[in-house]
Structure 1
Amino acid sequence: MLDPVVQYHGKWPFLRILGVQEPCSVLFSLLNFLAHRRGMSQIKELIPAKYPLRKYYVFFGYVGMASWLFSMIFHTRDFNATEKLDYFAAGASVLYGLYYTPIRIFRLDQRKPPVKATLLRLWTLICASMYVAHISYLTLWRWDYTYNMAANVAVGVVQNILWSWFSVKRYQKLKTPWAAWPGMIVAWIVLAMSLELLDFAPVRGLLDAHSLWHLGTVGPTIWWYNFLVRDAQQDIAGERLKA
Structure 2
Amino acid sequence: MQEPASVLFSLLNLLAHVYGVSTLKEHVPASYKLRAYYLWFGYFGYASWTFSMMFHTRDFVITEKLDYFAAGASVMYGMYYSPIRIFRLDKPGAIDGKTGTVLRLWTMVCAALYLAHIGYLTFVRFDYTYNMAANVVIGIIQNILWSWFAVQRFRKVGRLWAAWPGLIVAWLILAMSLELFDFPPWWGMVDAHALWHLGTVGPTIWWYNFLVKDAQEDLQSVRLKA
Deviations for 1:50-80, whole angstroms, at most 9, x for unmatched residues?
0000000000000011100000000000011
Aligned pair 1:26/2:7, yes or no? yes
- Root-mean-square deviation (CA, aligned residues, Å) is 0.8
Please tell me the residue identity of whatever aligns with 2:101. T
Counterparts of 1:186 and 1:238, CA distance in 2? 26
Q: Which residue of 2 aligns with 1:70?
A: 51
- Separation of aligned partners in 2, 1:116 and 1:40: 29
* 1:115-160 residue CA offsets vs partner (Å, 9 max, x unmatched): 3610000000000000000000000000000100000000000010
1:199 Cα deviation from its structure 2 partner = 1.3
Q: Report the equivalent of 1:166.
A: 149
Of structures 1 and 2, the larger Rg is shown by 1
Deviations 1:168-226 (A, max 9, x none): 00001111000000000000000000011221111111210000000000000000000
| Structure 2 unaligned residues grouped into runs of 5+ | none
Mapped to 2, the partners of 1:112 and 1:77 lie a distance apart of: 48
The reply to whether residue 149 of structure 1 matches residue 132 of structure 2 is: yes
AA matched with 1:57: Y
Deviation of 1:230 (Å): 0.1
User: Aligned partners of 2:189 and 2:134: how far apart in 1?
Assistant: 29
Distance 2:98 2:69 in 1: 32
Contact 1:46 1:229 (8 Å CA) reproduced: yes
- Residue aligned with 1:173, SS: helix
Give the number of the structure whose residues are more often helix, by fraction.
2
Check 1:221–1:116 CA distance in 2 against 1; reply closer, same or farther (3 A cut): farther
Secondary structure of 1:123 counterpart = helix
What TM-score, normalized by structure 1, do the two folds share?
0.91
Confirm whether residue 178 of structure 1 aligns to residue 175 of structure 2: no
1:28–1:214 CA contact under 8 A, matched in 2: yes
Preserved CA contact (<8 Å) 1:64 1:93 = yes
1:186 is aligned with what amino acid? V
1:94 aligns with 2:75: yes
Match of 1:188 among 167, 171, 189: 171
Identity %: 69
Match of 1:235 among 197, 210, 218: 218
Partner residue in 2 for 1:130: 113
